[in-house]
Structure 1
Amino acid sequence: MKYQVGQIIIGKVYNVKPYALLMEFEGGVTGLLHISEISDSYIRDIERYGTIGDQIKVKILSIDDDNGFLRVSFKQVPTEESYSSHVNKRSAPVMSDNEFLPLKEKLDEWIKQAYEEIENKIK
């Protein structure tokens, strides 16, 4: 299969490193999904996002001209596709900043309630 930069493809994880998931694609082509291309958030344990045998939908960032090795990204897969991109049904979180707005709006109220509960227990 002939791959192109920007193409969305499914690959299978064949090795896990602390910094990346090594993947194999159709036609025996291999590639690297670097930890920085999985999420914008800090990743403590890369195996929460992929383990050996998992199939993950990714976007091709670059192709090595000499050996065809692919550099791919999970976080650059369009949002509408990323929720279903883990073929093994493991959810790899894709979060936007506004998903935390309800938390931010309620935080002051919750802190006040917690202080009131503590004061009531002390009395």
Structure 2
Amino acid sequence: MSIEVGSKLQGKITGITHFGAFVELPGGSTGLVHISEVADNYVKDINEILTVGDEVTVKVLNVEDDGKIGLSIRKANESAAQKPSADRKSSKPSQGGGRNRRKEPSFEDKMNRFLKDSEERLSTLKRQTESKRGGRGAKRG
């Protein structure tokens, strides 16, 4: 079976490293799912999401000349989730799906919180350094 870029395949996780997971594809070939291609959100530890022996659906991102195959679990699930999403949008608010969106702060809220935290840290830092500087400069003369 030839592996083509863009195709979706079923595979089995054969190994996990700190940078990704190796997936055995049909035909005996092996590809790598980089840790950034495992899920839509940030993945600190790949072992929290995948385990050796898991059956996964992957999308082929690239096939190198030396035989290396780049895979993505995220993009395989993303395109499958986008097709029926129009049907799901009408039923999500009644299931409470809208609540999760309201909990996440907007960009402006995040920026305001960042500025407030930053100003607090700067004022604390200034107070600490000013008290240290005051004792040193007095004896010069």
Secondary structure, counterpart of 1:76 in structure 2: helix
- Aligned pair 1:20/2:7, yes or no? no
> Counterpart of 2:10?
10
User: Larger % of helix: which?
Assistant: 2
Among all aligned residue pairs of Structure 1 and Structure 2, give the percentage whose two residues are the same amino acid: 31
> CA RMSD, aligned part only?
2.2
Deviations 1:33-87 (A, max 9, x none): 00011123221220122111111101000012232x31001111143636xxxxx
- Aligned pair 1:76/2:75, yes or no? yes
Q: TM-score, normalised by structure 2?
A: 0.56
> Counterpart of 2:113?
none
Deviation at 1:13, TM superposition (A): 0.7
Q: Which structure is larger by alpha-carbon Rg, 1 or 2?
A: 2
Number of residue equivalences: 89
Higher relative CO (Cα under 8 Å, sequence separation at least 6) belongs to 1
Q: TM-score, normalised by structure 1?
A: 0.63
Gaps of 5+ in 2: 82-97, 106-141
Deviation at 1:8, TM superposition (A): 0.5
In 2: Cα distance, 1:78 partner to 1:56 partner: 10
Gaps of 5+ in 1: 83-97, 106-123
